[in-house]
Amino acid sequence: MTIISDNLQGVRERIAQACTAVGRDVSAVTLLAVSKTFGPDEVAEAIKAGQRAFGENYVQEGVEKVLALRATHADAGLQWHCIGPVQSNKTRLVAAHFDWVQSVDRLKIAERLSEQRPEGLPPLQVCLQVNVDGGANKSGVAPDAFSALAHAVAGLPGLRLRGLMCIPEPAPDFDSQRALFLRARGLFDDLNAQGLNLDTLSLGMSDDLDAAVAAGSTMVRVGRAIFGSRPRA
């Protein structure tokens, strides 16, 4: 057992405990291992420990890892999520190499991703990032503009809209964290009531995944608790 495999096991147990506490099946929550700033060797350790879904914040760094690890683990069924901001000049790279994008918050970016998704690949799976608490330093579409963006993105041929993602400002306790995540859950439920058939609520990270699971998260994004502190630049 390695430190990364031990950490993965600990996170999985934590997710299971969070699910049990609110009467949810553990299979309803996917663990996304956030591997930004860590190299292919660390990711390979996580793969060896059974992890298959990975999140990358930085497009160029992420693409390099995607190419390296798809070459060495071609049959592993790896799934790569872009979870950081996507600029217009990076959409072609994202569309060509990632399976998911969780950080779409503008129609222009969604349109470029749809247009640039290579033929022969399945639609790019997309979550819209919503700024649930109005945090000034956070990306994401405002809640009052969320529905219109979702309906527009749902009609793009190269994409499949799966749900939403949010990164609220840190909250001081479980109840406060859960309340913020429930705002996102409300938006998600509203869109499903409008017929969009979404299935993914990407909520929660290392510090608040328990509250996210209690609010209905179907995917938690965990980096530090798996890989450790980020390497210093």
pLDDT tens figures, 163-178: 999 999 899 999 999 9
Q: State residue 103's pLDDT score.
A: 97
Nearest-CA neighbor of 205 among 56, 32, 4, 58?
Answer: 32
DSSP string, 63-107: HHHHHHHHHH-TTS--EEEE-S---GGGHHHHHHH-SEEEEE--H
How far apart are the C-alpha atoms of 203 and 20, rounded to whole Å?
18
Nearest-CA neighbor of 187 among 211, 160, 161?
Answer: 161
Q: State residue 87's pLDDT score.
A: 95
- Lowest mean pLDDT of 68-77, 115-124, 133-142, 188-197, name the range: 133-142
Q: State residue 138's pLDDT score.
A: 73
Inter-CA distances, 75 with 55, 137, 194, Å? 19, 39, 38
9-44: per-residue pLDDT in tens?
999 999 999 999 999 999 999 999 999 999 999 999
Nearest-CA neighbor of 112 among 83, 140, 92?
Answer: 92
- Domains identified in the chain and CATH numbers: 3-224 (3.20.20.10)
Q: State residue 1's pLDDT score.
A: 64
Q: State residue 135's pLDDT score.
A: 73
72-100: per-residue pLDDT in tens?
999 999 999 999 999 999 999 999 999 99
